Structure 1
Amino acid sequence: MATNLEIDENLLQEALSLCEHSTADRLIEAALREYIQRRKQLKVLELFGMIDYEEDYDYKQQRQTR
C-alpha cells in the first residue's frame, strides 16, 4: 500500500543511523511493529492484579498434571 507521509527528515535520518534497516520503508514498518507490540504489552500489564485465584491454588501441582 503506497502512502505519502511527511516525516521530519532529521528524525528519519537519526532512526536510520540507529538501526539495521537499509530503507525508510523497512524502518517505518519495524517501528510500527514495535509500537504495536509495546501497546499490547501495556494492555497485559493493565490486567496485573485483576485476576483472583483461590486461596488453595497450587500452580506446581497444575504444572505436573499437564
Structure 2
Amino acid sequence: MRTNIIIDDTLMQRAMEVSGLKTKKDVVEKAIIEFVERRTRKDLKELRGKIQFAGNYDYRAMREGRK
C-alpha cells in the first residue's frame, strides 16, 4: 500500500542507526512487523493454569546447560 506519512527526521535517523537498515521504507516495514508481532503475542497472564509441566520437570537442571 502506498502512503505518505510525516515522521520526525531525528527519530527516523535513530531508527535507521539502531536497526542497521538502509532505507526509510525498510525501517517502517520492520516497525510495523514488530508492532503486529508484539500485539498478537499471548499475554503470559492469559496462560496461567493452562500449561501443565511433567511431574519430574526440573528447571534447575535445564538451566545448567545454558552456562
TM-score (norm 2): 0.65
How do 1:1-66 and structure 2 match up within 5 A?
1-41=1-41, 44-45=42-43, 46-49=45-48, 51=50
Q: Where does the alignment leave 5 or more consecutive residues of structure 2 unmatched?
A: 56-67
Aligned length: 54
Q: Where does the alignment leave 5 or more consecutive residues of structure 1 unmatched?
A: 61-66
> Tell me, what secondary structure is at the counterpart of 1:30?
helix
> For residues 48 and 9 of structure 1, do their structure 2 counterparts lie closer, same or farther at Cα, with a shift above 3 Å needed?
same
- Kindly provide the amino acid, as one letter, of the partner of residue 39 in structure 1: R
- Kindly provide the amino acid, as one letter, of the partner of residue 18 in structure 2: L
Superposed CA deviations along residues 11-65 of structure 1, whole A, max 9, x for unmatched, are 0011111112110001100010001111111xx11522264x8xxx7858xxxxx
TM-score (norm 1): 0.66
> For residues 11 and 58 of structure 1, do their structure 2 counterparts lie closer, same or farther at Cα, with a shift above 3 Å needed?
closer
